[in-house]
A and B are shown apart, each in its own frame.
Chain A
């Protein structure tokens, strides 16, 4: 276990270093940082002085080292567009994105698992076929179009829900939450559905195929033979054994949810990190792009690491296999 943990940890560090290298290359070589900071009337001498002061004349390796040290302290420099520290900008937007992602993930699980169980148990009922068709459409429809459809139906035509923004937010320490006000919750509904729909179909299909396999196993047949109630068999025995892969996939998907939030946030003008990143891409604001990349990489790597370690703990077969090597 310890050796495995250390090896995975080392891999994670390597990935982070590679991403840091990409971020650094972006930051340092795509566009001249000095050009972005000064006006047209700055003299070459002043530019050179600024260059020296920023350390841009040092050896590249030294600069890379400095970049990593600063990144570890969440210091990513100043945004070209907003003239504000990048860390501050992202910090202010972080709660909106995390809240949206979290609610979408919970929604996907709460709806996806029961749908998966149902379609797995009742393969040929018309409702299962309906669920499966919907899920196929859900996978084929681009996220942004789902968002627009929802806006068109629920915001424009029916006028039940707001189509943009977060509604009223409450400040809890440095964290701003929209979950405590009625308008905040209403504003969250459509974006959360848009973002969660893809993961929901994924979870549903996964649970379904796992259920179909588990149902055929001997211990389920034995449980039936013992005369246990249908409900007990389905939920206590069958579902429990399907949940390991579901937890894994959901964990891994959490990272994609945060990344896919870029699209949803754009459609609903949700003031999160994704929208900030997109504006950065549009306006070639390299410091924000580099910082967002590092942050997302960190999230992904951490989630992957946790899922891997959890998997190792949950599934004893994996441990036996490793030990045999």
Chain B
């Protein structure tokens, strides 16, 4: 790219800035650095993602390796309290598993469920929204009516219901094995509506523009027009909705796991860890529930703040 610009020395303006330089100079980047809260929440989110991704290397103990955990280390308090063990930063749970390592591994599952379910919800929602907006007529009416009915109920209720049905269909034996995907599926199914409605709205506008009419005239099949031509023009707000929904998805996962219909205790997510710790709250071992709960709250708060900022930065009108 630079070699091309060098060959035209008579041009007065400086060489076109590289991709990175352009990002560094963009409005979004400036509005990012202006807000200290946003920088902090981005930092925290990044910390969680790194901690979750590299949990096997970062965690001081492996909470799932039965050979390394000992019941003798059970219910040790966190550092700073009486009888603590310095190798367990935040104490241990009832089976002698390190709480801090548990949080790292738990964040891994919480983030994975959150990301995957939002991605699936976005795919389903965007496709249905495109079809509803582009095809119109009866298809549109059916899809949007379903969306309306679903929107009448809170997402958590839909997720609980889908979860219950999926568990019934899978059967007793495989329930634990498929718990992760059942959860992703139920959360995705309860979150698609917002994507569909937004995409449908902008597709309705795009459908009548000249480039779509031109594409139709030269005989491109409708499906290709939708994917190749309309989709890139309606995808913008999807990113914002996805970020805002990520926090919600993580909360939903944690809630379902806490209620005992989500991730099983053998591979606990943050919500499962709180559920486990809840039983020991009354006997004074508060750290087993409190630390994972606080980690969850901080993660969700950071993701929510990032989502708020992204919404304002990309599209002030979307409020």
**A15 touching B152, Cβ below 8 Å:** yes
What chain B residues lie within 8 Å of A19 (beta carbons)? 149
**B281 touching A140, Cβ below 8 Å:** no
Q: Chain A at the B interface: mostly helix, strand, loop or mixed? A: helix
What chain B residues lie within 8 Å of A296 (beta carbons)? 153, 157
**A259 touching B154, Cβ below 8 Å:** yes
What total of chain B residues lie within 8 Å of the partner, measured CB to CB? 38
User: Which stretch (B190-198, B210-218, B297-305) binds chain A?
Assistant: B297-305
The interface bits of chain B over 149-179 (1 if a CB of A lies within 8 angstroms of the residue's CB, else 0) are 1001110110011011101110000000000
Residue of B nearest to A22 (CB): B161
What chain A residues lie within 8 Å of B167 (beta carbons)? 281, 284
**B281 touching A156, Cβ below 8 Å:** yes
**B254 touching A300, Cβ below 8 Å:** no
**B149 touching A281, Cβ below 8 Å:** no
Report the bound CA distance from A156 to B278 in whole Å.
12
Interface residue range, chain A: 35 or more
Residue B247 is within 8 A (CB to CB) of chain A in the complex: yes
**A142 touching B254, Cβ below 8 Å:** yes
**A262 touching B281, Cβ below 8 Å:** no
Report the bound CA distance from A220 to B247 in whole Å.
39
Taking each of B157, B161, B165, B304, which has the highest tally of chain A beta carbons within 10 Å of its own beta carbon? B157
Residue of B nearest to A11 (CB): B148
Residue A278 is within 8 A (CB to CB) of chain B in the complex: yes
Report the bound CA distance from A143 to B252 in whole Å.
10
**A282 touching B255, Cβ below 8 Å:** no
**B297 touching A140, Cβ below 8 Å:** yes
**B164 touching A280, Cβ below 8 Å:** yes
What chain A residues lie within 8 Å of B296 (beta carbons)? 142, 145
Residue B259 is within 8 A (CB to CB) of chain A in the complex: yes
What chain A residues lie within 8 Å of B286 (beta carbons)? 152, 156
**B260 touching A259, Cβ below 8 Å:** no
Residue B102 is within 8 A (CB to CB) of chain A in the complex: no
B119 to chain A, nearest CB (A): 22
**B297 touching A278, Cβ below 8 Å:** no
What chain B residues lie within 8 Å of A163 (beta carbons)? 282
What chain A residues lie within 8 Å of B281 (beta carbons)? 148, 151-152, 156
Residue B90 is within 8 A (CB to CB) of chain A in the complex: no
> Which residues from 137 to 165 on chain A have a C-beta closer than 8 Å to any C-beta of chain B?
137, 139-145, 148-149, 151-152, 156, 163
The interface bits of chain A over 252-295 (1 if a CB of B lies within 8 angstroms of the residue's CB, else 0) are 00011001101100110000000001101110101001000100
6 examples of A-B residue contacts, CB within 8 angstroms = A15-B152, A266-B259, A267-B278, A277-B160, A278-B160, A301-B152
